[in-house]
Amino acid sequence: MKLNVTIQKGDPSGDRKAAASSVALKPHTARPTGKASVPKGPKPDLRAVPAWGIVAAPGDEGTPDAAKDFLQFSATVWNAGPSPLVLDGFRRQGKDLMDAYQYFYDTHGKEVGYQNTGTLEWDGRPGHNHWHFTDFARYSLLNSKQTEVVRSQKEAFCLAATDAIDYTVKNANWHPYNTDLHTACGDHGSLSVREVLDVGNGDTYEQSLPGQSFDITNLANGTYYVQVSANPENRLYESNTKNNVALRKVILGGTKHHRTVQVPPVGVITAP
């Protein structure tokens, strides 16, 4: 198979035509004005990667979860483009809540519209301490009939390009700016934040914390599916919403505090 790749260097000055990913990293200083619109043209395409890094483990000793068993996993949602996902949050006065706005760009990277897409909330728990966009993804454990039996409490996220997924897609940004939570998520005193998921890149979260992983204490052994859903409430505007869900089959076994999990390969993903 022959693959042609064109590498375009963005222009940070904005004086010439630049890729949308270059323009997108210039945050607004105030919430948008004028009539909101969702213009025709390029939009992000959020896709879920099948869950990976799946293990069964008991809760931490010395905590209320010590008597429980959990299914831990990692999940990635990525942007197949051709446009970056760009969100600005502007704080409501005196509240730990921001109004979120999604911005849209034409093929030359010029901003051509915006729309309110929900909220960002402050998460002050240890290990977080930053602003999360609500309803970016949803994690569910389904039974063999693919009916939800457990849902992860993790449903709010700071968006950052933590992992390169596919740099062959159109307008992929090989050098995203916000590659970790410290560059994207603000602090408690922030009046505004900009969170970006650039084209070709994914946002990965490990579900190692109780409350984020699945509580399998009372689940019978057998076949289940880890479902990762991007943009579950359709708050974000995309070019395609038919590829937002990914399933990963798991087979639970063992006994209390000695639960086992088998994870068959799916597609090109062979690691459990």
Q: What is the pLDDT of residues 130-148, one digit of tens each?
A: 788 988 999 999 999 999 9
Closest-CA residue to 252 (of 212, 213, 225):
225
Share of the chain above pLDDT 90, in %: 65
Helix, strand, or coil (residue 67) = helix
pLDDT at 134 (0 to 100): 86
Give the pLDDT of residue 235.
Answer: 95
Six-digit token pair at 238?
A: 């995309």
Give residue 228's pLDDT.
Answer: 96
Predicted local distance difference test score (pLDDT) of residue 172: 95
Among 141, 171, 167, 169, residue whose Cα is nearest residue 153: 141
For residue 229, give the nearest of 146, 125, 168, 170 by alpha carbon: 146
Cβ-contact 178, 203 below 8 angstroms: no
Residue 13 pLDDT level (bands cut at 50, 70, 90) = very low
The two three-digit tokens of residue 6, written as one number: 């064109």
* Integer Cα distance of 59 and 221 in angstroms: 18
Q: Domain spans of the chain?
A: 20-28+42-262
* pLDDT (mean) for 229-234: 95
pLDDT tens column, 41-54 = 999 999 999 999 99
Taking only the tens place, the pLDDT of each residue in 241-253 is: 999 999 999 999 9
CA dihedral 142, 145, 147, 151 (to 10 degrees): -10
| Fold type of domain 20-28+42-262 | Immunoglobulin-like (2.60.40)
Question: Please, which residues have CB within 8 angstroms of residue 252's CB and are 6 or more apart in sequence?
Answer: 56, 71, 216, 219, 220, 221, 222, 223, 224, 259, 260, 261
- Where helices occur in the chain by DSSP H, the ranges are 20-23
6: DSSP letter: -
pLDDT at 9 over 70: no
Cα–Cα distance, 127 to 134 (Å, whole number): 18
CB-neighbour burial class of residue 239 (10 A; exposed 0-12, middle 13-18, buried 19+): middle
